[in-house]
Structure formats: C-alpha cells, structure tokens
C-alpha cells in the first residue's frame, strides 16, 4: 500500500456512473415490479451502498477509509438502467474506487436480478465522472458530444 500517513485529511468526493443495456421488455418488467427476485432498483441501490463500504475488502491495496456519505441513484431508460454514485469523505486518500465499486455492484445487481429474463444484457460503461479534493485537485470527464453539429446563429 502507498503510505498516505503524511498527507493531510481533506474533503474528497468522487462521482461514478454505470450503464446497463437490456431489452425494452426487461425495462418494462422492472418498472412494473414484475421481476421475480423483487424490487430491482431498490436492491441495486442498497448493493451500491454496501459495496462502497466494502471496497478495501474487494480491491487489493485499497485503503480503508471512513466514508461520510454514499449516494446511489438507479433509474430506468427505454433500453436500460443507469447508475450514478457519489461518495464523500474527509480523509488522506480519495474515494474514486469506492464510487466505481458502488456503481459496478449496483449494475451487477440489476444483471443478477434480471438474468432469468434477459441473458443478453450488457454492462456498457463504468466510469469515473468527477473527483475533487486532495493534492491532485479537481478532475471532471468532458461531456460526450451529442453527435449534432452546432449551427452558427444568423447574423
């Protein structure tokens, strides 16, 4: 492990996202509460919180740190489920791994609960969106291009 003992405790935050693609019929089952294993979105949310708290048990050499907040949002879209996690601490090292682990666990929980009706689901992305605090400061992922070209306003 990296020695962080000499670093000051500072406020740190990290945001991560995950996206799971699935059949629209599977999304409809989630929304309607027709998934055999239960409330998919609530279970995914809880899994994310639990995973953030257990990150050092899952990721070798990851420092155990005191988390001050873990927020997990899970919602449906037409062809899938999106996850957004935000983790906070006041400590000597960042919470990027906790945010990413939370997002991954939430997405995997959705997969587990829905695999009996849709084995073709795909975890499309798992990524850090934002981190702040510590010596390296703030970092944010640039917005994805929409694919549309911007038009200049007429003069």
Per DSSP, the residues of 21-88 read E--HHHHHHHHHT--TT--HHHHHHHHHHHHHHTHHHHSTTPPP--EEEEEEEEEEETTEEEEEEEEE
Query: Do the Cβ atoms of 102 and 18 come closer than 8 Å?
Result: no
Query: Do the Cβ atoms of 82 and 61 come closer than 8 Å?
Result: no
pLDDT of residue 134: 87
147 has a pLDDT exceeding 50: no
Q: Name the percent of the chain lying above pLDDT 70.
A: 92
Q: Give the fold, CATH level 3, of 10-136.
A: Alpha-Beta Plaits (3.30.70)
Clarify whether 112 is annotated catalytic: yes
With cut-offs at 50, 70 and 90, classify the pLDDT of residue 150. Answer: very low
Catalytic residue among 3, 39, 112, 118: 112
Tens digits of residue pLDDT in 90-114: 988 889 999 999 999 999 999 999 9
Q: What is the pTM of this model?
A: 0.88
């Amino acid at each position: 492990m990296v020695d962080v003992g000499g670093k000051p405790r500072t406020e740190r935050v990290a945001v991560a996202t995950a996206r799971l693609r699935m059949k629209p019929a599977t999304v409809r089952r989630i929304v309607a509460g027709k998934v055999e294993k239960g409330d998919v979105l609530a279970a995914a949310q809880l899994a994310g919180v639990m995973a953030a708290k257990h990150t050092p048990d899952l990721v070798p050499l990851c420092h155990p740190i005191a988390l001050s907040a873990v927020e997990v949002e899970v919602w449906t879209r037409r062809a899938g489920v999106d996850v957004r996690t935000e983790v906070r601490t006041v400590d000597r090292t960042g919470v990027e791994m906790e945010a990413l682990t939370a997002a991954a666990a939430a997405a995997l929980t959705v997969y587990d609960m829905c695999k009996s009706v849709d084995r073709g689901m795909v975890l499309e992305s798992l990524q850090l969106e934002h981190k702040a605090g510590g010596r390296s400061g703030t970092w944010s992922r640039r917005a994805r291009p929409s694919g549309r070209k911007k038009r200049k306003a007429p003069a």
